[in-house]
Each structure stands twice: as structure tokens, then as C-alpha cells.
Amino acid sequence: MVRNPLTPEQIEAGRRLGRLLRDARAERDLGEVARAAGMSPETLRKIETGRLPTPAFGTIACLSEVLDLPIQDLAAVWRNSPRLEAAS
């Protein structure tokens, strides 16, 4: 299967998602969070830095649970929705 290149919008959405996850993780150890979410630390590092801008839904669902982030907030960040700004 050949994957189409990501659009600039998808790349930026991945960066926003990564920033939110990194902020939510705060001082928690990256490896600890990754293991609790069932992934490798390197995968979480790639998501947080935007090098993996389109993680699988299951991955995001697990991170949502481990970081106690509503999945709707993660979706809003991906869409660049003002939902989070209104909640702040």
C-alpha cells in the first residue's frame, strides 16, 4: 500500500497534538506514560515532536486515558477548533 504524502495542514495538526500531549504529560516520565499507554517511548516521543503526525486512533485513545485528557479535546486540537480556548 502506498501512502499519500501528508498535507501541510496534517503536519501542523500533528504538531499541535504533540504539544498538547507533551503539556499534559508535564513532569511525568515519558517512558512511564508510554508503557502505561501500551507503546514504546520512541513512539510517544515521535508523536510529541510531530514526527508521527497521524497516530492511530487506538494510540490516541490510550494516551487520552493515561493522561486523563478528554478525547474530544484531542480531536479539537487536531481540527484546530476553538473548543479548547473556550474551555480555558
Q: Work out the number of other CB atoms within 10 angstroms of the CB of residue 13.
A: 19
Task: Flag whether 47 is in a domain.
Answer: yes
pTM: 0.83
pLDDT tens-digit profile of 42-58? 999 999 999 998 899 99
Rounded CA-CA distance 39/35 in Å is 6
Rounded CA-CA distance 27/63 in Å is 15
Task: Flag whether 2 is in a domain.
Answer: no
Task: Flag whether 86 is in a domain.
Answer: no
Task: Flag whether 3 is in a domain.
Answer: no
Sign of CA dihedral 76, 88, 46, 50: positive
Q: What is the DSSP letter of 7?
A: P
Q: How confident is the model at residue 85 (pLDDT cuts 50, 70, 90)?
A: very low
Q: How confident is the model at residue 81 (pLDDT cuts 50, 70, 90)?
A: low
**31 pLDDT more than 50:** yes
Write down the pLDDT at residue 36. Answer: 98
Write down the pLDDT at residue 82. Answer: 52
Question: What CATH number has the domain bearing residue 73?
Answer: 1.10.260.40
Domain interval for residue 23 = 8-81
pLDDT tens-digit profile of 11-27? 999 999 999 999 999 99
CA-derived radius of gyration, the chain:
13
How many domains does the structure of the chain reveal?
Answer: 1
- Mean residue pLDDT of the chain comes to 89
